[in-house]
Structure 1
Amino acid sequence: MRYMAAIVLAAALLSGCQGADKAGVNGSSPSSQPEVSPTAMSATPSAPASSSMEEPLLYIEQLRIIGGGQLVQVKSNIDIDQKSLEQALKNSLQTSDPETEFRYTLEWESPRFVQIRLHLDENSVWSGTFNLDEAVTVDGRKYASTEQPYRNTVVIRAGDGEGSLLFQGVTSGTRRVVPAWNTGWIKPVQTRESVAPSYLFYGQEKHHLVHALTGEALEIPVFAQEKDAYGNDYGYHEMYSDRFYEDFTYMISGNKTLYRVDLKGFTSKKLHVFNKPVYGMSSSPDSKRIAVLTAHDEFIGPGADLTVLDQQGKILHSRENAAFISHSDGFLFVYSLAWEDDSHLILPADRDEHNPLGQIRYNTGNGASSVMQDERITDPLKQDLKEHERQPHNDLLLSGLKWSPDNRFAAFKSGTGAIQVYDTQERTFTFVSAGTLLGWMPDGTLAWADIKDLVYTF
């Protein structure tokens, strides 16, 4: 299912939707239509002449009602078999919390238009998904599409939008919720004090570093924006390291200047100024080296040069075109890189048949490099993922798999936008939640954030 953002008048959305009989499921239909505000929408169909040769299509809009509540509007170019749609919803429904009842009302406005009114507790952190592929027209034709496997899938999210970190045991079912902050960028951060990660929630005025196990948060003020800073496409002028040490860390300001930041007094010391935009940075486990990727070309292109600096900002090592990610020129977003140990870096590269993970292991001592492989990605896993996603190629999903500590489970963000977990022993898939996938804790619980529809993790 494809969505495109839209803002339209509520009266226009509801025109033509009055005067028809309504059939209710798990509730009764209200007598009047509320104003609504769309959150995501597909193109509204015209009214084509009925034709037995016409492909059956569903057009799905997800709407938030002004004042509270949600609607899913389903329109068709051909009369819908009502019972089949109701059964398709019931059969395919998966929720993040099976103990919480999913209540809804089906309101049929016409044989081609139904509103699914959701009765959700917006104070809860809840999400679910269903698929209407098995619905059929009155003459028995399915709405499923092999070319667009996600087009009839709906992902629903309740919650008040305040933001939460969630931790769930995949086998135990235990669940923990930690209050968090709305943000457009969450960065996993390693510390020496804990084997469990912390998560840095970026903000325009303040950042918050939240410890995953304790929920304790460190508030980090935003520094003044760098003079002559480079613009970027992710919205924040500071880029912190993926490691925080006992009382300091490193930060790039304005995609150009490297600083050491004191985490007690929040003062900064300038270490180095780069003459080209910075794409990404990471600091070594021993804190003595900082790796930085900068644009290779004068313009912002796909190639990136590597510079390794010491604690004082002195250049120790450099390599041209050490990393490469295909993208349109002019778009500056973060390139992920990380220290595997105090000598080796994991650098990004384009995925292909020889480099399915899109990663290079680079030795900063002798400059040797090798393609990263993952023996956990087996042929059965690839086949199961192909059938589950109904896509012949899933290279992006495979390269982004997050493995549990015992390597039994692989979590990933499905093409539908939902977080799924694959069990390598049972060869099954489980819906976990909507949200931003973060990773696994040492105890085997899975972490994700319920923040916004679009959050970068890099």
Structure 2
Amino acid sequence: MKAANGWSILLILVLLFAAGCKNTEPEVEKPDPMFPVMERVKSVAVTNDEGTEVLANLENEEVIAALLLGLHDAVPSYIEDPEPSGKLLKVKMTNESATQTYTVNDLRETDSLDYSVKIYVDNSDGPSRAWVLPTAWARLLLGYDSSMNEEPLLYASVNTLSNSVVVQSNRNMNRDSVDKAIKDTLVTSMMETNDQLDYHIYWSDPQRFVIRFAKVGEGNSLLFRLDGVMAETGESFASKSQPFRNQVIVYGKSSGLRWVNTNREIEREQKYDSAVLIQPIWSDNQQDSLLVYHHNDSQSLIKLSTGDIHAMNLTEWPQLKKGYGNDYGTGVLYADRFTSGMSYAVKENKTVYRVNSRTGEASKLYVSEKPIYGIAASPDNKRVAILVSSDSIISSFADLIVLNSLGKEIFRKNKASFSGHSDGFLFVYPISWLDNHRIGVIFQGKGDEEFLRGKAYINIEDASMKKEADVSLPDEAMQLLENYIGGTDAEILRVLPNPSGEKERYYAVQIAATGIWLIDVISHKVSWLGPGTLIQWNDLGEVVLWHSQDSIAFIGL
């Protein structure tokens, strides 16, 4: 009997202990099932969180009724710790007797995977309860109602920190068409990662989704098009007036020079945080190097065939005259030729020097009365040509002046070069000697010419000038490119046929909206090499390019 009583007491103690433990657990607050919708609302005012900027004033009965109906359907949620950070709005709803203020957290442009919009009911301490709303409700709140008859549009933005692409629309989207559009057009700038891309599409509502890429290499960039996306109504989101509107590029996190062979394999790479100019350099009558200009007025001379680097260390400029500012970001510009380490340079767009890149010594040669746009050395390195402004202001036309080794002017041709830009902006004008008698200069953007992009060749023996258009893509290559990029409105900036081997097979092309492409006419293959700037082909049949989010100036003809 005593044993039984002992077990009874023990059982009671266990139950009491369990009950005590249960009572100490915090209760999970359940979200309110229904949003407390205000009745008989007459007006809705939307401002920024501080209340200093009015974003919308709504008084249309149908619009207000639709907003209130949306609030009835709001999905209960929680106040998270921390709350997702979006654009905070204050919404004041007013009826005949009262005004109620709510806080809206607009998350549509963030990389939020689960929510597009959250709305809060506030108490004295701030937001106390939360609900989730769709993109369509936020558009209606900000004055974009369905009666506006907008064409179907997509709005894509990239979050580089999370490797995400956020896409919104003004129509409900067909989800299957989204999957197909991405799969059909997704390409990368690095061949070895093309088959390893792992991504997932997160839908927060029918008018918004987020693509999250799991494995994107540091130097890899991604490109895809969403023209194939359809609305649930069957309408297409492809825009005829903006052909590249639905193109998306996720940029790699590193930049620099890249050498790519015709199989799209990266042979070598030289990373740089930044650069302002890239210039082809001749040495001993071979164009075998590149000069990369950096923001701190330093330069790196790079061998095209090997990637070997020689740092330029010229810092002293004797008898320097106060010069001109420019719009390309460096105070020194070298001529395009180094012979036994000897070359020419212009400092602050005014003073020309003869320089020794090996010893770092410079001697003043010439002072220009007008801003200098470009400089080039003759093949024998005994003369230097410069382009200077044709007018008293910085304008589009440039005069060609040739100096001998003593700095004496021996030739001049007025208005020899032209590059269309607004007055007052000083950019580099490419210039190069073809031989000891002919000089090539840029001639582009002049409306009365037969071509938009081209060159002029001046013979310094008789001052004659010949103009010609830049190389264009042959019809077959153009058709391949247009089929691949999905349109005919691409702005082609440069076309470089492979100068060695199969000259009519490979073409490297730079397009303003997308970057660099490699076209194989025989194999009918088009490959994207990434965003950035097309430089040139080297003697090994490799495409040399600058891979980065921002295109930089290449100052070769």
Report TM bin, short chain: 0.7 to 0.9
- Mapping of 1:392-407 within 5 angstroms? 397=492, 400-406=494-500, 407=503
Q: CA separation in 2, counterparts of 1:330 and 1:61?
A: 34
- Mapping of 1:437-456 within 5 angstroms? 437-456=534-553
DSSP 3-state at the match of 1:130: strand
- Is 1:102 matched up with 2:197? yes
Deviation at 1:358, TM superposition (A): 1.8
Distance 1:308 1:166, change over 3 A: same
Matched to 2:400, the amino acid is L
Matched residue, 2:533: 436
- Is 1:54 matched up with 2:150? yes
Q: 2:306 aligns with which of 205, 214, 227?
A: 214
Q: CA separation in 2, counterparts of 1:10 and 1:205?
A: 40
Deviation at 1:217, TM superposition (A): 1.3
Distance 1:222 1:155, change over 3 A: farther
Q: CA separation in 2, counterparts of 1:201 and 1:19?
A: 42
Distance 1:342 1:355, change over 3 A: farther
Q: Deviations over 1:311-366 (max 9, x none)?
A: 22111100111111221111111111111112111122235663454211111111
Matched residue, 2:171: 78
Aligned length: 421
Deviation at 1:151, TM superposition (A): 0.8
Matched to 2:288, the amino acid is A
Deviation at 1:223, TM superposition (A): 3.0
Matched residue, 1:278: 372
Q: Verify the 8 A CA contact 2:275 2:292 in the aligned structure 1.
A: no
Matched residue, 1:372: 468
DSSP 3-state at the match of 1:196: strand
Matched to 1:429, the amino acid is V
Distance 1:445 1:309, change over 3 A: same
Matched residue, 2:185: 92
Q: Verify the 8 A CA contact 1:146 1:390 in the aligned structure 2.
A: no
- Is 1:410 matched up with 2:507? yes
Mark the structure with the bigger radius of gyration.
2
Q: CA separation in 1, counterparts of 2:441 and 2:307?
A: 31
More displaced, 375-384 or 187-196?
375-384
Identical-residue share of aligned pairs (%): 28
Matched residue, 1:346: 440
More displaced, 215-224 or 256-265?
215-224
Q: Deviations over 1:42-96 (max 9, x none)?
A: xx9756222594311111111222xxx3221111111111221121011101112
Q: CA separation in 1, counterparts of 2:363 and 2:409?
A: 17
* Structure 1 unmatched ranges of 5 or more: 1-8, 23-43
* Structure 2 unmatched ranges of 5 or more: 1-83, 89-104, 117-137
Distance 1:446 1:457, change over 3 A: same
Q: Deviations over 1:219-256 (max 9, x none)?
A: 11353685422011111111111112212211100000
DSSP 3-state at the match of 2:528: strand
Q: Verify the 8 A CA contact 2:531 2:549 in the aligned structure 1.
A: no
DSSP 3-state at the match of 2:184: helix
Q: Verify the 8 A CA contact 1:359 1:372 in the aligned structure 2.
A: yes
Deviation at 1:98, TM superposition (A): 3.4
Q: Deviations over 1:121-140 (max 9, x none)?
A: 44x42122100000011111
- Mapping of 1:126-145 within 5 angstroms? 126-145=220-239
Q: Verify the 8 A CA contact 2:430 2:442 in the aligned structure 1.
A: yes
Q: Verify the 8 A CA contact 2:252 2:549 in the aligned structure 1.
A: no
Q: Verify the 8 A CA contact 1:150 1:415 in the aligned structure 2.
A: no
Distance 1:19 1:380, change over 3 A: closer
Matched residue, 2:124: none
Could you tell me the TM-score, scaled by structure 1's length?
Answer: 0.83
Q: CA separation in 1, counterparts of 2:259 and 2:357?
A: 27
Could you tell me the TM-score, scaled by structure 2's length?
Answer: 0.69
Q: Verify the 8 A CA contact 1:184 1:452 in the aligned structure 2.
A: no
Q: Verify the 8 A CA contact 1:259 1:271 in the aligned structure 2.
A: yes
Q: Verify the 8 A CA contact 1:412 1:419 in the aligned structure 2.
A: yes
Deviation at 1:183, TM superposition (A): 1.1
More displaced, 442-451 or 50-59?
50-59
Distance 1:391 1:136, change over 3 A: closer
Matched residue, 1:26: none
Distance 1:449 1:382, change over 3 A: closer
Deviation at 1:180, TM superposition (A): 3.9
Matched residue, 1:258: 352
